[in-house]
């Protein structure tokens, strides 16, 4: 509420823009330029080079020379996206934090709208929509596939609220999940820094935004949602994950870690949010099971480096037991549904025969004649 009655100008709240970068020499200059050209000027830029092996750090150094605002360029050993973002938050001094991916762009009025909507509504989190573009018309193999993918992403990243909708974090989370508009992407929200400091990204996993966004929303007091396209997301060529054994191992470990963290949250959450959170948890359990099946088929289970994911062999054994139990439960449920279906078919067959027997009886035929006039009269009245 501190800024609600304050005239919004370049003396407004400081925004820390955090860009984690890894081997994006081709794109990072455009990304930094989109920040430099913002109409809102009270921001600082923190670029975290996560151990790039190409010219990324060199391009960053050249790109930030034209920036008058406070700039921090931090280089660290490769630790992954989560580690880079966490480093950026530690270096941030702003009241708000925004995470910008190193190959994407911000519309010129984005930061202004973020701050306007956030301080006018006393928000901890502001969630918005994105527009998608391809770095070339053959990013997805051919022009038609690329165009179709852009349309699919545009629909996926759309919010349902054309006017800003403000609610508690729990209510916002429930609304997103129930309307199938839960979009777990960190760059599609704007955050109060104190909230992000309490909710670091889980390091060393894929799909980290799913866990982060769930945690952030459930901790936030006030969340705003608006269907305003305030982000430009790039669809890059060759960005599709390959389906080799290493990918399945990373995916399984990541899905498993996220499902375990969500399970812990289920034990502490309110009854109000339980059903929505349980649906996200179930989704990650299903994804874990799917990856686990693929690993079993490839005989790759023993290649799992559990220490890398802060797991232990006992965790995997527990998961194997859980997996087999779930599979057994699925078989039992399937058999129960099959038996129920057969019973219904038998009941239906009996009812059809009984109905036909009644129709063939003299009593039924006489009844039709007797009730013909009343039925005709009722039909005339209800016309």
What are the backbone dihedrals phi and psi of residue 252, each rounded to the nearest 5 degrees, phi first?
A: -60, -50
- In this model, does residue 114 exceed pLDDT 80? yes
In the block, which residue shows the tokens 């984690």? Answer: 20
Q: Is residue 348 part of a domain?
A: yes
Q: Is residue 71 part of a domain?
A: yes
Domain boundary among 179, 205, 235: 235
H/E stretch holding 74 reads: strand 71-76
What's the pLDDT band for 318 if we cut at 50, 70, 90? low
pLDDT at residue 135 in the model: 75
User: Average pLDDT in the 69-77 region?
Assistant: 97
240 lies in some domain: no
pLDDT of residue 184: 94
Helices (H), 107-244: 110-120, 143-156, 169-178, 193-197, 208-219
What's residue 333's pLDDT? 54
pLDDT at site 143? 72
pLDDT of residue 175: 95
pLDDT band for position 162 (cuts 50, 70, 90)? confident
Q: Are residues 336 and 263 in the same domain?
A: no
Q: 368 pLDDT exceeds 50?
A: no
| Mean pLDDT on 198-207 | 95
Kindly state whether residues 160 and 196 are assigned to the same domain: yes
Sheet holding 15-21: strands in order across?
71-76, 43-50, 15-21, 96-99, 189-192, 125-134, 223-235, 165-167
Quote the pLDDT of residue 4. Answer: 43
User: How many structural domains compose the chain?
Assistant: 3
Q: Is pLDDT larger for residue 142 or for residue 183?
A: 183
Listed ranges 47-56, 239-248, 267-276; the one with the highest mean pLDDT: 47-56
Q: Is residue 366 over pLDDT 50?
A: no
Taking residues 142-152, report their average pLDDT: 74
Cβ(102)–Cβ(77) below 8 Å: no
| Whether residues 351 and 290 fall in one domain | no
Residue 271 lies in a domain: yes
Asked if 24 and 53 sit in the same domain, the reply is yes
Q: Is it the case that residue 129 has pLDDT exceeding 70?
A: yes
With a pLDDT cut of 90, the percent of the chain lying above it is 54
Domain boundary among 235, 263, 278: 235
Looking at the predicted structure, is the pLDDT value of residue 124 above 80? yes
What's the confidence (pLDDT) of residue 27?
A: 96
Which stretch of 85-99, 131-145, 195-209, 293-307 has the lowest confidence by average pLDDT?
Answer: 293-307
Residues 35 and 96 in one domain: yes
**Is the per-residue pLDDT at 67 higher than 70?**
yes
In a domain, 318, yes or no: no
pLDDT at position 63 over 80: yes
Mean local confidence (pLDDT), 61-69: 95
**One domain, residues 90 and 129:** yes
The mean per-residue pLDDT over the stretch 293-310 comes to 61
Q: Does residue 66 fall inside a structural domain?
A: yes
Q: Out of 20-34, 60-74, 350-364, pick the least confident.
A: 350-364
| pLDDT range class, residue 64, cuts 50, 70, 90 | very high
59 touches 29 (CB < 8 A)? yes
Which whole number is the average pLDDT over 302-307? 54
Residue 3 has pLDDT above 50, yes or no: no
What's the pLDDT at 169? 97
Tell me if 161 sits within 8 A of 227, measured CB to CB: yes
Residue 166 reports pLDDT greater than 70: yes
Residue 45 has pLDDT above 50, yes or no: yes
Within 10 angstroms of residue 45's Cβ, the number of other Cβ atoms is 23
Dihedral sign for Cα 224, 184, 230, 51, please: positive
Q: Which of 235, 266, 286 is the last residue of a domain?
A: 235
Domain that holds residue 278: 245-311
User: Which pLDDT does position 308 carry in this prediction?
Assistant: 56
Average pLDDT, the chain: 82
Where is pLDDT greater, at 361 or 340?
Answer: 340
Distances (CA, A) of 313 to 34, 248, 319, 364: 46, 18, 10, 72
Whether 70 and 172 share a structural domain: yes
DSSP E strands: which ranges in 243-317? none
CATH number at residue 25: 3.90.550.10
- Check whether residue 307 and residue 187 sit in a common domain: no
For residues 106 and 109, give the distance between their C-alpha atoms in angstroms, rounded to a whole number.
8
**Are 29 and 130 part of one and the same domain?**
yes
Does 284 lie in the same domain as 373? no
pLDDT attached to residue 347: 65
Q: Does 3 map to a domain?
A: no
Distance CA(217)–CA(227), nearest Å, equals: 17
372, pLDDT greater than 50: no
Q: Do 231 and 250 have their domain in common?
A: no
More confident residue, 128 or 363: 128
Asked if residue 317 belongs to a domain, the reply is: no
Whole-angstrom Cα Rg for the chain: 28
Cα separation, 337 vs 181, whole angstroms: 31
Question: How much is the average pLDDT of 218-224?
Answer: 98
| Closest by Cα among 35, 52, 226 to 130 | 226
* Same domain flag for 107 and 225: yes
């Amino acid at each position: 509420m501190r800024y609600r009655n304050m005239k919004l100008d370049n003396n407004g709240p400081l925004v820390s823009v955090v860009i984690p970068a890894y081997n994006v020499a081709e794109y990072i200059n455009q990304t930094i330029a989109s920040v430099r050209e913002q109409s809102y000027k009270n921001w600082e830029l923190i670029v975290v080079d996560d151990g790039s092996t190409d010219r990324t750090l060199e391009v960053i150094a050249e790109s930030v020379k034209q920036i008058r605002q406070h700039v921090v360029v931090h280089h660290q050993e490769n630790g992954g996206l989560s580690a880079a973002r966490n480093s950026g938050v530690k270096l941030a001094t702003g009241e708000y934090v925004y995470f910008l991916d190193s190959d994407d762009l911000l519309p010129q009025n984005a930061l202004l709208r973020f701050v306007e909507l956030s301080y006018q509504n006393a928000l901890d989190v502001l969630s918005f929509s994105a527009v998608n573009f391809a770095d070339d018309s053959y990013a997805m193999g051919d022009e038609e596939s690329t165009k179709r993918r852009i349309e699919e992403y545009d629909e996926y990243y759309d919010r349902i609220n054309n006017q800003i909708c403000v609610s508690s974090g729990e209510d916002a989370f429930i609304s997103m999940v129930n309307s199938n508009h839960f979009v777990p992407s960190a760059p599609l929200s704007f955050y109060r820094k104190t909230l992000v400091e309490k909710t670091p990204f889980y390091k060393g996993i894929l799909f980290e935004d799913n866990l982060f966004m769930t945690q952030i929303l459930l901790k936030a007091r006030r969340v705003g949602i608006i269907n305003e396209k305030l982000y430009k997301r790039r669809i890059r060529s060759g960005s599709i994950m390959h389906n080799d054994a290493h990918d399945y191992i990373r995916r399984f470990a990541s899905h498993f870690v996220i499902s375990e963290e969500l399970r812990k949250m289920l034990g502490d959450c309110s009854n109000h949010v339980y059903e929505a959170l349980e649906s996200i948890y179930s989704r990650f359990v299903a994804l874990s099971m799917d990856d686990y099946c693929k690993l079993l088929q490839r005989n790759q289970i023993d290649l799992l480096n559990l220490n890398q994911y802060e797991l232990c062999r006992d965790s995997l054994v527990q998961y194997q037991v859980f997996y087999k139990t779930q599979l057994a439960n699925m078989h039992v449920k399937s058999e129960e549904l099959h038996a129920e279906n057969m019973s219904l078919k038998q009941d239906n067959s009996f009812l059809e025969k009984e109905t036909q027997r009644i129709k063939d009886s003299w009593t039924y035929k006489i009844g039709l004649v007797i009730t013909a006039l009343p039925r005709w009269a009722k039909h005339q009245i209800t016309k």
